[in-house]
Amino acid sequence: MEILPGIHRVECPIGPRYVALYLVVGDDYTLLLDTGFDQSIRETLIPYMNAHSLSLEKVRYAINTHSDYDHTGGNKAVKELMPNALICCGERDRDMIVDLSKMVDDRYNEFSKEHGFAESQEAVDFIGTVAFETSVDIGFAGNERIDLGNRCVQILHTPGHSWGHLSILDETTGAMMIGDAVLGQSVLLATGEHAFPPTYRFVEAYRSTIRMIKGLHPAEILTSHYPRYVGQDGIDFLDISLSYTDLVESVTLETLTKSAKPISLLEIIEISHDRLGVWPDPAYKYLVYPVLGALEVLVSYGKVVKSTSSTGIALYK
């Protein structure tokens, strides 16, 4: 629906959740933020655009906020159906966006060798059915400005969930479209129930991103997997997200302090997950993202020591 003048939010199903794609319409060009799954473009976005008399030919910029397949999977469909569209992303995420195998290996299976946690083959096979590769035309670093015709947007580098994550600030409305740059205390199902933990990965960058967004005083915060946050609701969402990083860090440190021996990332999560959220098994195991981030911070502070077991698994004490 058109939630603000010239800004359309299109919620596309992804199983029991949704990914919200955004169209920012200027006099000359339209910007599409994120592409969801392949069917998100073909079955949801295209019919929406046709129903609202939005030109496919006018779409000039299709920007992936970051390197997750539910935000990039429709890139090939965009190239096929929107003839003037340029696929864009954060430069630091480009390699994983143009190569799904690299996304799987470097992002989703990052924890396999050192921590013993990997995506199931079923999940990897599923990615291959909903996401299709294409080239990236433009890599952004952040601080760019795009003129859509009587409407300008700013490209912002908002790392933490990924290193190359981008957000968009619409100068006309003051709304900020942030993808997964900030993730609250839980990722949600479409019903509003808890799906899995917030999968931010690089803690200090994530904290800096939250503070930066707050400092810009956006009129609205528009995310991919959460409802609209207007005014103070947006500030509250940012504050809750920042406080959650402190909770993860403190619970992780307390868990290690109480342990009589060095323990692994997965052992930390088994001991502490019920203090960090209400997700069922196996969803709570995705705490590997924020807990590993917290461990890296604690190691850098000298509060935790990292070692390696005889089988190559990282241990912490």
Q: Which domains does the chain have, with CATH numbers?
A: 2-241 (3.60.15.10), 248-316 (1.10.10.10)
Closest CA to 30 of 51, 58, 6, 4: 58
Cβ-count burial 105-140 (b if 16+ within 10 Å, e if not): eebbebbeeebbbeeeeeebeebeebbbebebeeeb
DSSP helix/strand/coil, 61: strand
Q: What is the pLDDT of residue 230?
A: 98
d(C-alpha 74, C-alpha 32), whole Å: 11
Angstrom distances, CA of residue 55 to CA of 52, 107, 284: 9, 35, 42
Chain-centroid distance of CA 114 in Å reads 23
Q: What is the pLDDT of residue 246?
A: 98
Q: What is the pLDDT of residue 220?
A: 97
Q: What is the pLDDT of residue 294?
A: 98
Give the other-Cβ count within 10 Å of 250's Cβ: 12
d(C-alpha 133, C-alpha 146), whole Å: 25
Q: Are 148 and 30 spatial neighbours (Cβ–Cβ below 8 Å)?
A: yes
Angle between helix 288-301 and 265-272 (nearest 10): 110
- DSSP element (H, E) containing 124: helix 121-130
Q: What is the pLDDT of residue 203?
A: 98
Task: Per residue of the chain (317 residues), give pLDDT as tens.
Answer: 999 999 999 999 999 999 999 999 999 999 999 999 999 999 999 999 999 999 999 999 999 999 999 999 999 999 999 999 999 999 999 999 999 999 999 999 999 999 999 999 999 999 999 999 999 999 999 999 999 999 999 999 999 999 999 999 999 999 999 999 999 999 999 999 999 999 999 999 999 999 999 999 999 999 999 999 999 999 999 999 999 999 999 999 999 999 999 999 999 999 999 999 999 999 999 999 999 999 999 999 999 999 999 999 999 99
Q: What is the pLDDT of residue 85?
A: 98
DSSP letter assigned to residue 125: H
